[in-house]
Amino acid sequence: MNLEFAGRRVLIVGGSYGIGKAAAQIFVAEGADVVIASRSAQNLEEAATEIATATSGKPPAHLVCDVTQPDAGEVLADEVARRWGGALDVLVTAVGGSIRSAFADLSDEDWINNYTFNVLSTVRAIRALEPALAKGSAPAIVTLGAAASKMPYQHQIASNVHKAGLLGLNKTLAAEFAASGIRVNLVAPGRTLTPLWTNRADKMSADEGRPREEILAEFSKDIPLGRFGQPEEIAAMVVWLASPKASYVTGQAINVDGGIARGLL
Ligand SMILES: NC(=O)c1ccc[n+]([C@@H]2O[C@H](COP(=O)([O-])OP(=O)(O)OC[C@H]3O[C@@H](n4cnc5c(N)ncnc54)[C@H](OP(=O)(O)O)[C@@H]3O)[C@@H](O)[C@H]2O)c1
């Protein structure tokens, strides 16, 4: 299937590893002009080299930007103005995560930080880049949410709340941006083997004195497909939703989770 990405302008926030990097690799392989953004120049350079090697293609350009900072929108919009004359076709926001904690142990600061990490970071990127997307061709936004927004996990209450907030953002913006031709969708991953999870499993392994593999096997038990997802499996849905092949899809939140979220909707 030709996903029609040749020459299209794609910006991925959170593109230096994990699901964002896996999506960047597919976009590059499909011939898109890609910029990856994250906090670390070193991580970005390593990702760009890896992607170029894997695809035998042009390495993605990169931009250092911390989306938890108030000036993040300006940094992203300036890059799009400088590189592409202020027009953008695809925005992917792939920054976020949880805090494993009981409700009683979370402070106001924990709640605010997790809100900034998951919700405000996404709001900032979209708000700053909406004018550029409105000038783009078949423009699309894809946000990474979480299966936990539809089936809350124990001991992850802050991100359960904030990822559910992204569902509201997604649905509302899809209606608001339709007049500018911008489609807005969300991909909700289940447990996926990115550094987010491998680091968590390593910490649990050190704390509990058991092998990482045993921990991952335990967390696979309630996944109907019986295993963690690979970043490429989530990225494939991100890329498809961003492509003109999904031209009649907007306001949707699609789980790619091995079946873990058991709700009907
Ligand atoms: N993996 C899972 O099991 C899972 C499950 C449900 C939902 N999700 C969601 O899917 C999305 C991607 O997850 P992932 O597993 O790929 O995460 P990850 O492995 O932690 O990767 C996150 C990416 O975001 C960048 N990043 C982190 N903080 C940033 C900041 N403040 N500003 C800019 N960039 C930042 C990281 O790069 P630098 O360190 O270089 O900044 C990296 O490129 C997240 O929204 C996550 O909540 C993941």
DSSP letter string, 148-201:
GGTSPPTTBHHHHHHHHHHHHHHHHHHHHHGGGT-EEEEEEE-SB-SHHHHHHH
In which order are the strands placed within the sheet that holds 9-13? 61-64, 33-38, 9-13, 90-93, 140-144, 183-189, 253-256
* Domain shared by 92 and 129, yes or no: yes
* Domain shared by 25 and 70, yes or no: yes
144, 215, 220: residue to mutate for ligand 1 pocket, most atoms within 8 A of CB: 144
* Domain shared by 125 and 209, yes or no: no
Asked, for residue 262, whether it belongs to a domain, the answer is: no
pLDDT band at 57 (very low <50, low <70, confident <90, very high): confident
* Domain shared by 139 and 243, yes or no: yes
Nearest of 229, 253, 231 to residue 241 by alpha carbon: 253
* Domain shared by 158 and 50, yes or no: yes
* Domain shared by 162 and 222, yes or no: no
| Structural domain count, the chain | 2
| Binding pocket residue ranges, ligand 1, CB within 6 Å | 14-20, 38-40, 43, 65-68, 94-97, 144, 146, 189, 191-192, 194-197
* Domain shared by 104 and 148, yes or no: yes
Query: What is the pLDDT, as a whole number, of residue 236?
Result: 98
* Domain shared by 54 and 183, yes or no: yes
* Domain shared by 218 and 178, yes or no: no
Residue pair 30/57 in contact (Cβ under 8 Å)? The answer is no
Asked, for residue 166, whether it belongs to a domain, the answer is: yes
pLDDT tens-digit map of 156-174: 999 999 999 999 999 999 9
Ligand 1, atom 20: closest residue by C-alpha: 196
Asked, for residue 43, whether it belongs to a domain, the answer is: yes
Q: How far is the CA of 58 from the centre of ligand 1 (A)?
A: 23
Q: How far is the CA of 179 from the centre of ligand 1 (A)?
A: 30
pLDDT tens-digit map of 106-159: 999 999 999 999 999 999 999 999 999 999 999 999 999 999 999 999 999 999
Ligand 1, atom 41: closest residue by C-alpha: 39
Q: In ligand 1, which atom is closest to the CA atom of 193? A: 1
Q: How far is the CA of 13 from the centre of ligand 1 (A)?
A: 9
Whole-model pTM: value is 0.98
Q: How far is the CA of 224 from the centre of ligand 1 (A)?
A: 24
- Residue 30's domain comprises 9-191+231-256
Residue 251 maps to which CATH number?
3.40.50.720
Asked, for residue 263, whether it belongs to a domain, the answer is: no
Asked, for residue 4, whether it belongs to a domain, the answer is: no
* Domain shared by 127 and 207, yes or no: no
* Domain shared by 174 and 185, yes or no: yes
Asked, for residue 57, whether it belongs to a domain, the answer is: yes
Tokens of 139: 């423009």
* Domain shared by 75 and 117, yes or no: yes
